[in-house]
Chains A and B, each alone.
Chain A
Amino acid sequence: MTSLPTETAKKLGLVIDLDTCVGCHACVVACKGWNTQGYGAPLSDQDPYGESPSGTFLNRVHSFEVKPAEAPAQLVHFPKSCLHCDDAPCVTVCPTGASYKRAEDGIVLVNEDACIGCGLCAWACPYGAREMDQAEGVMKKCTLCVDRIYNENLPEVDREPACVRTCPSGARHFGDFADETSNVSKLVAERGGFDLMPELGTKPVNKYLPPRPKDQAVEEFDILAPLLEPVATDAGGFLGWLDKALERI
């Protein structure tokens, strides 16, 4: 059903730390690797070794420059995948019921057997989280690795989304936002986690942590600096003569 649940028992999602992400794209590769062999249709590529390669990805890393008014610019790597919104506009527009949000854990999924590939959900998503697979003609999106997180055949340490499991800098965290004592809830509270495009009212579950402010170079940072200033500003004597002579040449 494409009606949204009024409340979900759990709110599973990700916290993405923009302070620690180094932009290595390992999460992109891990996501593609896991999701091309598990849930639903594989993530196809078109012309992968040709002149104009493109393909389906559920997670992508953008890089932005942020230039504060009075400080040097800073580089922010920005991973982006489905935010599993509480008020997911992609779900309600679906004409077939293929898109749905699970009442038990809040994950937004696509039932690919019911998807007609009209693409309206991708239009309704502000975040570019949904991509139509060009080989299968069905909509693909982040499943929060639903086939890992509950998978008892995997060692417990692997029961988290592939992107989180693989991140070498610990920039991605997985947990339940409905539980105030969970790791993700604490991170959001401590670090001021925020929503993307809050003005659209989608109420994303995933939160982003802001980059910490960079140290600023203070003007007088060297206690010896005053001692190293030029001694004479208008030189006289032999050096003064030499200076003038050299300038005349």
Chain B
Amino acid sequence: MHPAPSVIIFTVLSGIGFGLLGFLGLGFPSVTGWVAFAFFAIAYLLAVGGLLASTLHLGNPQRALRAFTQWRTSWLSREGWFAVAALLIMAVYGGGLVFFETSIIALGWIGAALCVATIYATSMIYGQLKTVPRWNHWTTSLLFLGYSLTGGALLSGTTTIATYLLAALGIVQFVYWTLGDKRFVDRGHTQGTATGLGGLGDVRMLEPPHTGTNYLLKEMVYRIGRKHAQKLRVIGILMMSVVPFALLVTLDAGHLIGAVVVLLHLAGAFVTRWLFFAEAEHVVGLYYGK
């Protein structure tokens, strides 16, 4: 799949933003006044900035409000509702902390649950697609929730939880890659089933339908960079999990180490999210012999 920068930025940033909002909703860290304002500002910048970035890849963003109408069937629509609900509830909760020094605990919990629901809905946009076997698995949701919670824990300064989450996320990411590598073949999609001609013999593409490229090839048969996938996997997992974990375990987490850990994790998350898209194989490639 084509790794569109707008979608990578959206999923990484808004994921971390909602993760941080979730932690704030649960009272990690327990802050009020201007400190609370700073935390909430960062969370909203990430969450809302990410959502805005996602509209950049739309063909007609001026109609984006229509995306709220089909929540009965569409995970993309549900994501929109959960996101708006989470942002509104957390605004009220955050307003209480910043301006009135009051924590409406129930509201914080509801807001945190909505943040998790938002991330889950985002993950299901990809996880629901049977056409992309690598994504079409419950571990996609686990992965997205893992990135969100880890990022949120790091940004909220909840160091102990963040340390555990960094380790867990590294394992989840590794398992996700290992399981995902086999799934396309395991599902049995071949040029034979795609054309229905598999019963007659070995099917091979002889001539593509067009000499140039097209939307399908650019969007769904993206193959550039797959040859570096293994190197990028190692770089990604080192930056987003192993090194930050080692730093937090061995050093006292001050602001400087904290900042280094957050930046490392974020950079690593961009690498692995790029791979999430670039490595995903769509079944339509079978019609093009790929």
Residues of A within 8 A of B (CB): 1-3, 18, 28, 52-57, 60-69, 71, 73-76, 78, 80, 89, 91-98, 114-120, 122-128, 131-134, 136-139, 194-201, 208, 210-211
B77 contact set on A, CB distance < 8 A: 95-96
Decide if B129 touches A64 in the complex (CB within 8 Å). Answer: no
Of A75, A95, A195, which one neighbours B74 at CB under 8 angstroms? A95
B67 touches A116 (CB 8 A): yes
B212 touches A137 (CB 8 A): no
Q: Is the CB of A115 within 8 A of B60?
A: yes
Task: Name the contact of A120 in the complex, choosing from B69, B76, B193 (C-beta under 8 A).
Answer: B76
Our pick among A52, A94, A127, A132 for the contact of B215 (Cβ within 8 Å) is A132
Q: Most chain-B Cβ atoms within 10 A of its Cβ — which of A2, A69, A95?
A: A95
Residue of A at shortest CB range from B194? A197
Which of B43-51, B159-167, B202-210 makes up part of the contact surface?
A: B202-210
| Residue among B131, B195, B204, B210 making CB contact with A125, cutoff 8 Å | B131
Residues of B within 8 A of A211 (CB): 197, 200
User: SS class of chain A's interface: helix, strand, loop or mixed?
Assistant: loop
Residues of B15-63 whose CB lies within 8 A of A: 57-61, 63
Specify which chain A residues have a CB less than 8 angstroms from the CB of B209 in the assembled complex: 28, 60-63, 80
Q: How far is the CA of A123 from the CA of B276 in the complex (A)?
A: 15
Known A-B contacts A62-B208, A97-B70; A54 and B129 likewise in contact (beta carbons under 8 Å): no
Q: Is B66 a contact of A116 with CB atoms below 8 Å?
A: yes
A199, B203: Cβ atoms closer than 8 Å:
no
A-B contact pairs, 10 of them (CB 8 A): A60-B210, A119-B57, A123-B219, A124-B131, A132-B59, A137-B59, A195-B196, A199-B187, A199-B189, A200-B189
Chain B residues within 8 Å of A95, by CB = 66-70, 74, 76-77, 80
Given A116-B58, A116-B64, A117-B58, CB of A94 within 8 Å of CB of B74: yes
Which 7 A-B pairs have CB atoms at the shortest separation, nearest pair first? Answer: A117-B59, A137-B59, A68-B201, A60-B209, A96-B66, A95-B67, A95-B76
Q: Across the interface, do A137 and B74 meet the contact criterion of CB distance under 8 Å?
A: no
A23 to B264 CA separation, bound complex (whole angstroms): 54
Bound Cα distance from A133 to B216, whole angstroms: 11
Interchain CB contact under 8 A, A116 and B59: yes
Residues of B within 8 A of A62 (CB): 205, 207-209, 287-288
A71 contacts which chain B residues (CB < 8 A)? Answer: 201
Question: Which of A61, A94, A137, A194 is within 8 Å of B70, CB to CB?
Answer: A94
**A122's contact among B67, B204, B220, by CB below 8 Å, is which?**
B220
